[in-house]
Amino acid sequence: MKLFVTAGSPYARKTRVVLAEKRIDCEIVMLASLADPDSPLPAYNPLGKVPTLVLDDGSGLYDSPVIAEYLDSKTPVAHLIPQAHRIEVKRWEALADGVCDATVAIVMEGRRAPEKQDNSIVERQRPKVERGLRNMSQDLGDSKWCLGEAFTLADIAVGCALGYINLRMPELKWEEQYPNLARLHNQLLARPSFKDTVPPG
């Protein structure tokens, strides 16, 4: 298997963390740019997005929730989506990915030429990030992990979202407002799977 990723993608990071936690050997193909016309990615994913997992038969799997579920089913080591709590885990993942979606939209708008930027896009997306953080904090409460005492894909997804916000929107300073999320994030950063996949600044 091989996994196509970019260094800054929170979705790609999520799948890399899952690979590490599941102890699955997989070639990581780091793409410098998704805009490269010679990229091999579209041959496996018509959307040309990362992450894309190429299976041994040459077929491609996408996007990150599908890849994470596939990898979790591949080996019994450290189940990250326990069947008894599958919907709760996937709900957390959807919230975390949605926060990333909104953050990406803000980042992409900010990369446009100043005269072409549409501030209404930022005004629509930023509240999604803020509400998402508030909801995560409320749902986490005083628990060690998103689902109480069990480390799951929910924690991985939330941790990757928090890391991405730190990278792209440090002005939010969410750690001050949500110390329980900061505690969770610090716990995650102590794990080799998170340490080894921190996006470049």
Domain ranges of the chain: 2-74, 83-195
- Give me the CATH topology for the region 83-195: Glutathione S-transferase Yfyf (Class Pi); Chain A, domain 2 (1.20.1050)
Domains 2-74 and 83-195 share a fold: no
| Distance separating alpha carbons of residues 83 and 58, to the nearest angstrom | 29
pLDDT of residue 134: 98
Question: Which region among 19-28, 35-44, 91-100 has the lowest average model confidence (pLDDT)?
Answer: 35-44
pLDDT of residue 80: 98
The CATH number that domain 2-74 falls under is: 3.40.30.10
| Contacts with 68 (C-beta within 8 Å, 6 or more apart), sequence order | 14, 15, 18, 80, 81, 93, 153, 156
**pLDDT tier, 109 (very low <50, low <70, confident <90, very high otherwise):** very high
Global pTM exceeds 0.85: yes
